[in-house]
Amino acid sequence: MSTRLTTSIRIAYGASDLGVNILVIASILITFTYLTTVLGVDAGIAGTLLLAAKVWDVISDPIIGRLSDQTQSKYGRRLPWMAIGSVLMGLGFAGMFLAPFSNSPATVQGVYFVIALMITYTAFTMVGVPYGAMTPELTNDYDERSSLTAWRMTFGSVGLLIGGAGAPLLVSIFGGGLEGHRIMGLVFIPLITLPTLITVFFLRNVPLKQATPEKLSFKEQWALVKQNKPFVKLALTYLVQAGMMAQVTAGLLLACAYIFEAQDANALLTQLYPVFVLSTVLSLPFWLKVAKKTSKPFAFVWGGIVFTLGAGSMYFMSAATVNLGFIVMMIIGFGYSAYMIFPWSMMADAITHAKTYTDKSLEGLFNGWWTALQKVGIALGPFIIGWMLQLSGYQSSTDGSFPPQSEEALYALRLSISIIPAVVFALTLIIIYRWPLKREDLTNA
């Protein structure tokens, strides 16, 4: 029997993604540029540091997922983790930009940043893993999961707007450089923390479909996860897709400075990003209707095609096409909207599929692996663009400015935010097109 949710539950559930997305998008959007234009870290080293920070996530995310499955408390096994993690997320994000060793060499400052990033993303895991595990626990209805995910992503889109436009705006308002980033981080503490606390408060008495957790060894749990082939394929595909999305995002501020040649790159990004977010939000109902009439994979593939066309067109942008850049951001947002909904909804379906071969409750564990791979993908983007830039002779700075670059570096930047992510993302759609789980297989699960 399927479960229909009230609008109040959908809103309460979705609220947490506002704070989570502020953290995620602000981190992706400005950390690479912060390392290379404020701390003076070489582009390739900056990308490597961001990737290295994610190695810990591969270990910590499944562990927290496992502990989340086994937690017993008055308010269930998910909400206590989310409450504590939300507070640590906000504090950790601000700590990333404090730069207490500002007079030290760039390497020392970069190492401090990575440690702060590791702490912040561990807190993100404490929120994100239990949060994602709640989707199949709130409802077992195929379409209701898409609807619930759409509510979540609507709030997430607001978070994208606040984090994506607000972070560079605050940095610009407060003079840029180190001081601008410090103040931005402090302002974001309540914006990152409060949404998840709201979710925890309003869902504290909502019953979840949770089986009795069983204590299994890591080897036993991994065997059960590995057996879920749809989940493994989707998670690995999502890793690559997240990497390509992060690669585009990490280079947007640099694109404003070097491709669009804006005098104030942060100000231009503050104008472009809301167009992207608005397009994303307005497109959500469209993709839901497409998925309901066809299937989630079908809608996802077509959304992915739109994204690849938009991202690929960035290759042809220049200082003379700034106005056209707003249209390109609308196209990218239209395709990105499908990317926001369907991987998470299909992931919940894949978790439900696990019930065909085990009666054990492993929602948190699955979400732990999912979140770990997502964050590795997010780190791959800056790693790739970082080394492409460094190998082409990109010059870093320490005063928040964008120094002149060689033609080779500018060409590498153009490729890294357009053709390369567009082509790789398009190839992943082949796997999505062949998604094995059908609506009829999951309706009565």
Burial letters 249-271, b for 16+ CB under 10 A, else e: bbbbbbbbbbbbebeebbebbbb
Say whether pLDDT at 145 is over 80.
Answer: no
Judged by average pLDDT, the poorest of 55-64, 190-199, 319-328 is 55-64
Comparing CA positions, the residue from 31, 256, 276, 33 lying closest to residue 160 is 276
Given this model, what pLDDT does residue 290 score?
94
How many angstroms from the chain centroid is the CA of residue 349? 20
Judged by average pLDDT, the poorest of 155-159, 213-217, 262-266, 343-347 is 213-217
Confirm if 235 and 370 have CB atoms less than 8 A apart: yes
Q: Bigger pLDDT: 193 or 206?
A: 193
Given this model, what pLDDT does residue 339 score?
92
3-state DSSP of 214-258: CCCCHHHHHHHHHHCHHHHHHHHHHHHHHHHHHHHHHHHHHHHHH
- When pLDDT is cut at 50, 70 and 90, the band that residue 197 belongs to is very high
Q: What is the pLDDT of residues 218-238, one digit of tens each?
A: 777 778 888 999 999 999 999
What is the phi/psi pair of residue 259, to 5°?
Answer: -90, -50
Q: How far apart are CA 62 and CA 366, in angstroms?
A: 8
Given this model, what pLDDT does residue 304 score?
96
Say whether pLDDT at 128 is over 90.
Answer: no
Mean pLDDT for 280-306 is: 92
- Count the alpha carbons within 13 Å of 363 in the hemisphere toward its beta carbon: 29
Q: How far apart are CA 305 and CA 425, in angstroms?
A: 9
Q: Bigger pLDDT: 360 or 223?
A: 223
Confirm if 251 and 153 have CB atoms less than 8 A apart: no
Residues composing the chain? 445
DSSP state of 316: G
Judged by average pLDDT, the poorest of 183-197, 269-283, 310-324 is 269-283
Mean pLDDT for 336-347 is: 88
Comparing CA positions, the residue from 140, 127, 164, 137 lying closest to residue 15 is 127
Q: Please give the structure tokens belonging to residue 268.
A: 């231009």
Given this model, what pLDDT does residue 154 score?
84
Q: How far apart are CA 238 and CA 260, in angstroms?
A: 30
Say whether pLDDT at 420 is over 90.
Answer: yes
DSSP state of 314: G
Confirm if 239 and 428 have CB atoms less than 8 A apart: no
Say whether pLDDT at 405 is over 70.
Answer: yes
Q: How far apart are CA 412 and CA 93, in angstroms?
A: 30
The percentage of the chain sitting over the pLDDT mark of 90, rounded to a whole number, equals 51
DSSP state of 212: P
Q: Bigger pLDDT: 412 or 353?
A: 412
Highest mean pLDDT among 30-44, 179-193, 204-218, 342-356: 179-193
Mean pLDDT for 162-189 is: 92
Given this model, what pLDDT does residue 23 score?
93
Given this model, what pLDDT does residue 223 score?
84
Comparing CA positions, the residue from 367, 82, 76 lying closest to residue 196 is 82
Say whether pLDDT at 136 is over 80.
Answer: no
Q: What is the pLDDT of residues 8-34, one digit of tens each?
A: 888 888 899 999 999 988 988 889 999
Number of helices followed by number of strands (H, E) in the chain: 16, 0
SS3 (DSSP) at 35: helix
Q: How far apart are CA 25 and CA 157, in angstroms?
A: 10
Q: How far apart are CA 16 and CA 112, in angstroms?
A: 28
Q: Which residues contact 152 (CB under 8 A, 6 or more apart)?
A: 13, 14, 16, 17, 344
Given this model, what pLDDT does residue 371 score?
78
Tell me the domains of the chain and their CATH numbers. 7-202+219-442 (1.20.1250.20)
Confirm if 123 and 85 have CB atoms less than 8 A apart: yes
Highest mean pLDDT among 4-8, 359-363, 375-379, 413-417: 413-417
Given this model, what pLDDT does residue 356 score?
80
Given this model, what pLDDT does residue 242 score?
92
Task: Give the Å distances, CA to CA, from 137 to 144, 211, 216, 349, 366.
Answer: 12, 9, 20, 11, 13
Say whether pLDDT at 1 is over 50.
Answer: no
Q: How far apart are CA 197 and CA 119, in angstroms?
A: 19
Judged by average pLDDT, the poorest of 65-69, 86-90, 298-302, 410-414 is 65-69
Q: What is the largest CA-CA distance in the chain?
A: 63
Mean pLDDT for 114-138 is: 85
Given this model, what pLDDT does residue 104 score?
84
When the pLDDT of each residue in the chain is averaged and rounded to a whole number, the result is 87
Confirm if 355 and 333 have CB atoms less than 8 A apart: no
Say whether pLDDT at 182 is over 80.
Answer: yes
